[in-house]
Chains A and B, each alone.
Chain A
Amino acid sequence: MAVNTSYAGRVYPPGEVYEVSAEKIRELAEATASTHPAHTDPAAARALGYRGVVAPPTFAVVIAQRAEAAYVQDPDAGIDFSRVVHADERFTHHRPIVAGDRLTPTLHVDSVTERGPLAMVTTRVEIADDDGAPVATVVSTLAVRGEDA
């Protein structure tokens, strides 16, 4: 089944609240060999002016990929995950993410385009805090190979 281009422009309702824990920050930092002490030591984070341990720069992908699931796992979207390659990713931080944050993602399908045998799908997840203030923007592009590519 081909990728459904009619999803371009779609905006999903806000996703579930994601509660950022110190343990999840530690797990992601350790898995990516991110050794800055502010990821794991509350005192080191406080010394930099944060109220909790600070997430690594790519932590928001955890929240974004949960939100993206509503789209990429929708059978009508036509995205066959065995044919997907991650093409690019960008994080824009409006402020750092710290332990204790309660964050809400909103998923936008910015574009779905076909380039020969490839379909390029770009999503954008806007992450806001409990006050509605912007925290991070995560833009991700997937390349989906066609049946005969």
Chain B
Amino acid sequence: MSPTLADLEVGQEVARRTIEVDRARLVRYAGASGDFNPIHWNERFAREVGLPGVIAHGMWTMGAAVGVVTEWAGDPGAVVDYQTRFARPVVVPDPGAAQVEVTATVGAIDPETSTARIDLAVVVEGQRVLAKAQALVRLAA
């Protein structure tokens, strides 16, 4: 059953998920998105330009984080607006993986436009990697 606006309260947590990201996932995202910047797959290049190592595409992190919202809303088309600032790079080790923890809470409810603002806390190793990550979701009253 899809959630309705009447079900929601500001501050309520609606979804939570941890997503694992390794180098293979970044290569897959590069191919899917067409963003082949080598800082996302080439350790030597990433270090040469002053990064601590290979980092995830900001757009990968943004795209992965909103998955909890589309699942919760029950309709990917319900997300009418989605924005973020990229606060910190997500360094992706090799071997191994980074764990991206996403928590979605209700930030605001607007009955006039039938939308709820869902705020996403996106954290890696205790630090927020996205700032002001907000999805506006259209829901039934």
Nearest-CB residue, chain B, relative to A53: B76
B123 proximity list for chain A (CB < 8 A): none
Looking at chain B, what size class is its interface with the partner chain?
Answer: 20 to 34
Assembled-state Cα–Cα distance A89/B81 (Å): 11
CB < 8 Å neighbour of B60 from A27, A31, A35, A92: A31
Residues of B within 8 A of A87 (CB): 85-86
On chain B, the residues within 8 Å of A50 by CB distance are 77
| Chain A minimum-CB-distance residue to B35 | A65
CB distance from A147 to the nearest CB of B (A): 13
B75 within 8 A of A: yes
B121 within 8 A of A: no
Known: A28-B32, A66-B34, A82-B49. A56 touches B70 (CB 8 A): yes
Closest residue of chain A to B45, judged by CB?
Answer: A82
Cβ contacts A60-96/B at 8 Å (1 or 0 each): 0110011000000000000001110111111111011
B37 and A56 within 8 A (CB): no
**Is residue B96 within 8 Å, beta carbon to beta carbon, of the partner chain?**
no
Query: By DSSP majority rule, is chain A's interface helix, strand, loop, or mixed?
Result: mixed
A56 / chain B contacts, CB cutoff of 8 Å: 63, 66-67, 70, 76
Contact of B86 among A24, A27, A48, A88 (CB under 8 A): A88
- A86–B86 touching, CB < 8 Å: yes
Q: Which one of B32, B35, B82 has the highest number of Cβ atoms from chain A below 10 Å of its Cβ?
A: B32
The 8 Å CB contact of A33, one of B19, B33, B83, B135, is B19
A99 CA to B64 CA, complexed, in Å = 20
- A61 to B86 alpha-carbon distance, docked (Å): 15
Partner of B33, one of A31, A54, A55, A57: A31
Chain A nearest CB from B84 CB (Å) reads 6
Q: Is B126 an interface residue (CB 8 A)?
A: no
Q: Besides A28-B33, A31-B31, 7 other CB < 8 A contacts?
A: A28-B32, A36-B70, A56-B70, A58-B82, A65-B35, A87-B86, A93-B77
